[in-house]
Amino acid sequence: MSHAVSLLRAARLASATKPFSARGGFKRERCEGCRLVSTHCMCALRPSVNTRAAVCLLMADIEPLKPTNTGWLIADTVADTFAFGWSRTEPDPALLALLSEPAWDPYVVFPGQYATPERVVHAIQPRTAGRDGATKRPLFILLDGTWSEARKMFSRSPYLNHMPVLSLVPAEASQYRLRRSRCSDHFCTSEVAAQCLSLAGDEVAGKTLDAYLGVFTHHYLQAKNQLPIAWESAAHRRLDEVLAQQAMRAA
């Protein structure tokens, strides 16, 4: 399956001068669809939900190459996911075109203490586009990288400076366990996207993405520790429950 993040990963690999090797990961051959070893592949579990909101990932240089990157999970789940490599001086023209489309209502998702007060919002405000009065669709711009990379991207992207900054107030602590963080209140990219989707009224998509992250975490850690998949795990049961609820609503 090719989606925005997988295409960006392929382009980044094509431009690489040497092979990329993930630190601390397993060295066996990985599935192209889910980046896990074939024995722990989770492609058959990939969910898909309809959303009103969309996600735009601005990704640090090697972020698309990391097997623990969770932007991939967003693109798996949310059809309207866009992904671009970050550049301060030469932003992708396709990114600038996307951000200028009148159908979208873009928000830069970042902690409010790093922005001027007049830019900070904590909720989605419905806005209309053009003379027909159609409501714009929220477009959440997520800065995908390490915390230091994300801060650099936020402060050095002048093409984002005119946009509101959505500052989230999470109700729970992060459950992400695949990378270490110096700060306990930092969330991985898919967790942030799930919160944004719920805030925009796409609660089912938010719950699905959270559950899908749980399954990915289980598969990844089991493979890393050379253990079999526990198909009856709490993570798998939760994803099954969320998908069943989704199916009932659609019926």
CB 4, CB 83: distance < 8 Å: yes
Instruction: State pLDDT tens for residues 96-151.
Output: 999 999 999 999 999 999 999 999 999 998 888 766 778 999 999 999 999 999 99
Q: What is the pLDDT of residue 20?
A: 55
Q: Calculate mean pLDDT across residues 168-182.
A: 77
Q: How confident is the prediction for the chain on average, in pLDDT?
A: 90
Q: How many CA atoms lie within 13 A of 8 on its CB side?
A: 28
Instruction: State pLDDT tens for residues 231-245.
Output: 999 999 999 999 998
Question: pLDDT grade, residue 180 (50/70/90)?
Answer: low
In angstroms, the Cα distances linking 105 to 49, 53, 101, 215 are 20, 9, 9, 31
Q: Calculate mean pLDDT across residues 35-54.
A: 94
CA distance linking residue 124 with residue 38, whole number of Å: 41
